[in-house]
Amino acid sequence: MARKAYSDKEREQVKQALMATMIRCIADRGLIHSSIDVLCKNVGISKTFFYSFFSSKEELVLHALRYQQPQLLDHARSLMEDPGLSWRAGVETFLKKCCYGAKSGVAVLSIEEEQQVRRCLSEENFQAFRQDQVGFYGKLLSIFGLPVDSIDPRLFGNLALSMMMVHKAIPDTMPFLFPEVAENMVDFQIRALVDEMERVKEDAR
């Protein structure tokens, strides 16, 4: 018997389930081990139905990363509003959550995964995603109470992402780094970044 047509609401629910599943897969096992077959099995749909939403796994990745952004912004707001946390503790907690994506469920692409996704994107889609990222980092800085234009959101994004990606790359992609001090490295980098953010915040007063 033919499957009944999906309503618009059902289609939106499936699309959100695909994006949420992709986020979990990137965090848990990495993009290379997250095939369309695996995604469809987890969501309970056919590959044919998958392609009615996305033209490729890489296109889904972009949508999933955009889907994750409001969740991260909400988390940052909750930390800034937590009366039990200082400003510094809130920012550091947020950055650590992102650095330890495999433990916290935050999707951070590895160096190889970024290259894989970029190869499959048109220049138009790539540039549009870059602008989305600039907007996201700008909103994040605003939530952290930094004045507009006090720190270039692209610089903040580069510093934060490079920290997360290097940590994720140890030891498989970057075997010459020392895995036994990887967490110490993250702590040092977070302190250095937050030191600069705090200095800029104080100077703006």
Predicted TM-score (pTM) of this structure: 0.92
- Nearest-angstrom CA–CA distance, 54 and 1: 26
How high is the pLDDT of residue 1?
36
Q: Which of 150, 154, 162, 171 shows the shortest CA–CA distance to 189?
A: 162
User: Can you list the domains of the chain with their CATH numbers?
Assistant: 8-203 (1.10.357.10)
How high is the pLDDT of residue 3?
57
How high is the pLDDT of residue 134?
97
Below-50 pLDDT ranges, the chain? 1-2
How high is the pLDDT of residue 4?
60
Span 31-49, pLDDT tens digits:
988 999 999 999 999 999 9
109 within 8 A of 165, measured Cβ to Cβ = yes
- Nearest-angstrom CA–CA distance, 197 and 96: 16
